[in-house]
Amino acid sequence: MYGCLGAVAWCHVTTVTRLTFSSAYQGNSLMYHDSPCSNGYVYIPLAFLLMLYAVYLVECWHCQARHELQHRVDVSSVRERVGRMQQATPCIWWKAISYHYVRRTRQVTRYRNGDAYTTTQVRS
- How many residues would you count in the chain? 124
Ranges of the chain with pLDDT below 70 = 19, 21-32, 124
Q: What per-residue confidence (pLDDT) applies to 36?
A: 75
Burial pattern 41-71, b for ≥16 Cβ within 10 A else e, equals ebeebeeebeeeeeeeeeeeeeeeeeeeeee
Q: Would you state the pLDDT for residue 123?
A: 76
- Domain spans in the chain, listed from the N-terminal domain onward: 2-71
Residue type, 17: T
**Per the confidence metrics, is the pTM higher than 0.85?**
no
Q: What is the pLDDT of residue 69?
A: 75
Task: Please report the pLDDT score of residue 70 as a whole number.
Answer: 75
Cα(23)–Cα(42) distance, rounded to whole angstroms?
28
pLDDT at 87: 93
